[in-house]
Every structure is written in structure tokens, then in C-alpha cells.
């Protein structure tokens, strides 16, 4: 038996003011769209904003359902919408912001496992990394240069 060590690296911004202006604007859009989330069950609202290589921005917020598996996370709402409306565009950047009606969220909130797999599919499809910025409602913002930092052992079509 042998052991394998996998390491990842993130850039950390102390707050939104430290972000490059383009990313700060994208994060502000994620914050605004999270206010439109439909989250009556979890009371946990997430917003996502995607910048495409054609300059378009696509937004998404989480949409819950009483039958829990039927809902969708903000990241997948945005990424699937981008794929449907702009199928040939590449996703350059993804900004994510989360908040809770129950307690302050000051830690960066990364995409869930299902969202990571969906982002991985688009990163694989377009053959270029997607920069991912994520935060809570305030506080630090993490930047990942690629989805592979969040999901280093990604499952893709090469396994099929």
C-alpha cells in the first residue's frame, strides 16, 4: 500500500474591497441575485454570477422544493442556464455568495458536491479552467483557479 497526498491552493481576499473590480462587480451581482433565492425550507440563500467569454453575465439563485431532491442550487441554475442560452461560450469566472436567515455566514461557502461535478463537466467540455470565487454574506473570499482545486479526483467522460 502507498499513500498519496493531494494538495490544493486558494487565494484569499480579506473582503470584497480587495477583489479586482471586474470580480467585485460579479460578486455584487451574486449577492443581489441571492436575495431572489427561493429557500423557504433551508432558509439558506445562495446567489451565483457567471462571466462568459462573450462578455455576457448569467445569474442563478437556489430554488428549493418541498420534495428536496427536486430543487437546484444557484451554481447549477446559472451554469445550466449559461449552457442553454450560450452553448458555445466558455465560462471564465463564477462568483458565489451565501447567507442564512438563521445565523450570520462569515465563512466562504464553496459549491456542494453536485455543483462541483456540474462545474467539472463544463470545465472539461471547454478545456479551460473556470475561476471560482466564493464567500458567505461577508468576510473572506476564496478564489480557486480551477474546479480541480475543489474536486481533485474529478470524474469525467474519460472513465466511461
Catalytic positions: 75
- 122 annotated ligand-binding residue: no
- 95 annotated ligand-binding residue: no
- 15 annotated ligand-binding residue: no
Half-sphere exposure in the Cβ direction for 100 (13 Å, CA): 10
- 68 annotated ligand-binding residue: yes
- 159 annotated ligand-binding residue: no
- 63 annotated ligand-binding residue: yes
- 121 annotated ligand-binding residue: no
- Known binding residues for Zn(2+): 73, 112, 115
- Known binding residues: 62-68, 73, 112, 115
- Known binding residues for substrate: 62-68
Amino acid at each position: 500500500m502507498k499513500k498519496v497526498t493531494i494538495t490544493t491552493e486558494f487565494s484569499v481576499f480579506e473582503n470584497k474591497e480587495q477583489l479586482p473590480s471586474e470580480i467585485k462587480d460579479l460578486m455584487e451581482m451574486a449577492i443581489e441575485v441571492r436575495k431572489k433565492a427561493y429557500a423557504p425550507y433551508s432558509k439558506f440563500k445562495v446567489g451565483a454570477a457567471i462571466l462568459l467569454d462573450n462578455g455576457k453575465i448569467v445569474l442563478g439563485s437556489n430554488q428549493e422544493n418541498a420534495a428536496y431532491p427536486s430543487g437546484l442550487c444557484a451554481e447549477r441554475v446559472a451554469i445550466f442556464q449559461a449552457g442553454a442560452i450560450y452553448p458555445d461560450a466558455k465560462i471564465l469566472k463564477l462568483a458565489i455568495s451565501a447567507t442564512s436567515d438563521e445565523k450570520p455566514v462569515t465563512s466562504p461557502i464553496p459549491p456542494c458536491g453536485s455543483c462541483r461535478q456540474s462545474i467539472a463537466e463544463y470545465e472539461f467540455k471547454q478545456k479551460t479552467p473556470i475561476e471560482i470565487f466564493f464567500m458567505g454574506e461577508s468576510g473572506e473570499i476564496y478564489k480557486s483557479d480551477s474546479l480541480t482545486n475543489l474536486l481533485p479526483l474529478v470524474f469525467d467522460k474519460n472513465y466511461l
